[in-house]
Amino acid sequence: MIGAVGFTTRGRPIALERCMRSFVENLRAYGRSPQLIVLDDGGDAAYDSAYPIAARIAAEFPEFEVLYAGLEQKRDLVEQLSRAGIDHAVAEFALLDPERCGYTLGANRNALQLETLGEQVLYVDDDSEALTARPPAWDERLLVSGHSSNQEYWYYPSHRDAVAAASFEAADLLALHESFLGRSGREIVDAYARGPGVLELAGPWPTGTTPYALWIGWLPGHDPVCRRPDDRL
């Protein structure tokens, strides 16, 4: 069961608040109360934007435990890891930006992973909302494909047209993810074989592999789920 929802953000307080409120609404509608963790990548000035959002959500919705980690907290974590025997330079590279690349989304997510070790976690970007809709060409069956990507895309003249074309319907977002998380590819395929069915296997298949051991994902419009039947997600 998903025990935490992590929100990665950087300098977008309006988007972050809209995102968090959207997910809180979905979670409350289905009686879910995971931890809400805000991972702030905005630097020292981030307290002026992301921290107040996290504090406001915590005050308005006391049934949720809301955690916040900004630059100061990540520096503290680096020191904790160093005292625990992790090379200081390695910890810095994993959680901060010692080489000043300017892009630290991976480091932000590393902090979330360390905070939630052993738990199932839903990662959320701050420009998303908890709205669910079926893609235009929906199929309940599972696709087993050898292609590097089984995503499909639809293009619209404007944002308004894209929203108008979507068929929104209420759904428990955590439950949708939990139907795959922690299950092997073999279990997922077997479940669909007994239910909606599995689509015809589609190549090309890499040399030395069998169709049953390749990408498993939704069709269309969703990321692949796993690489091998016995891999845990």
Which pLDDT value is given to residue 227?
36
Q: Please state, in angstroms and rounded to a whole number, the distance separating the CA atoms of residues 218 and 132.
A: 15
Terminal Cα distance for the chain, rounded: 13
Neighbours of 2 (CB within 10 A): 19
- 114-147 pLDDT per residue, tens: 989 888 999 999 999 999 888 777 778 777 666 5
Greatest mean pLDDT range, 32-36, 163-167, 223-227 = 32-36
Which pLDDT value is given to residue 44?
64
Give the pLDDT band (50/70/90) at residue 199: low
Q: What is the chain's mean pLDDT, rounded?
A: 81
User: CA–CA distance from 87 to each of 71, 81, 96, 175 (Å)?
Assistant: 19, 8, 14, 38
Which pLDDT value is given to residue 225?
38
Q: Please state, in angstroms and rounded to a whole number, the distance separating the CA atoms of residues 187 and 164.
A: 36
- 25-75 pLDDT per residue, tens: 999 999 999 999 999 987 665 556 899 999 999 999 999 999 999 988 999
Instruction: Give the lowest-confidence range in 31-40, 73-82, 203-212.
Output: 203-212
What domains can be seen in the chain, in order of their start residue? 2-125 (3.40.1260), 133-226 (no CATH)
